[in-house]
Amino acid sequence: MARDGHPGLPFDPKTAAVDDPDRLDYELGRIKGAKIDPELFDYLYEYYYDRIFRFFFNRLKNRVDAQDLTADVFHLALSRLWQFRWLNKPFQAWLYRIAVNRLNRHLKLAQRQRSWLAPIDSMGEEVFADSEQDPALELEKIRQRQRIERHLAVLSNEERNWIALRYYEDLPVKEIAAIYGVPEGTMKARLHRALGKVRRAMTGDRGE
């Protein structure tokens, strides 16, 4: 399949950017088709699986829980696909909304917050095995992450979700606002306040 206006550039819906207009058109067709034939949902599953899994893994740092919750998200998405309304935006906004709700429920039932930045004893060997850098530098990076994690403890679970979506999943503020059903300006203000809490915590830590 070639792109309009770019006959020499093939279009691959599996590798195209999430906001690519051609991919969005293709995605809309698959969504409409999947409402009739669930087997057509496979493209949506394959395209978005890694993104949703990464969101859960970054927040929980538990691969089994992340896999289970990711499976739940796609099961719910398929069963509720008839509710989905196309607004000319990537399907992922709707998936992330389901993911955030499932994560909050999981944390509430577990009655504990799991680390979303891996501690040294669980990730050190994996980091060093794949790294070409000086192990001492990698160890310092891990220690920096742990310091950041300590400061993130001042945030609520929901605030951590906002930070994860913006800075770990690299979603634009506009899309995060769509996930939560609030104006973009409101989400910008929420992120600003959350980051302000972290900065104040870090400043206080340096002053000790």
Q: Where are the domains of the chain?
A: 1-114
Looking at residue 111, what is its pLDDT? 56
Closest to 163 measured CA to CA, from 55, 48, 65:
55
Looking at residue 41, what is its pLDDT? 93
- Cα-only R_g, the chain: 19
Q: d(Cα 55, Cα 70) in Å, to the nearest integer? A: 9
pLDDT in tens, 155-195: 888 888 888 888 888 888 888 888 888 889 999 999 888 88
pLDDT higher than 80, residue 93: yes
Say which CATH architecture domain 1-114 belongs to.
Orthogonal Bundle (1.10)
Residue pair 84/31 in contact (Cβ under 8 Å)? The answer is yes
Q: Indicate the pTM of the whole model.
A: 0.64
Mean pLDDT of the 140-153 span: 65
Mean pLDDT of the 29-44 span: 92
Closest to 60 measured CA to CA, from 168, 175, 201:
168
Looking at residue 179, what is its pLDDT? 87
Beta bridge partners of 10: 2
Q: d(Cα 83, Cα 15) in Å, to the nearest integer? A: 27
pLDDT higher than 50, residue 126: no
Q: Which residue has the tokens 């009655």?
A: 111
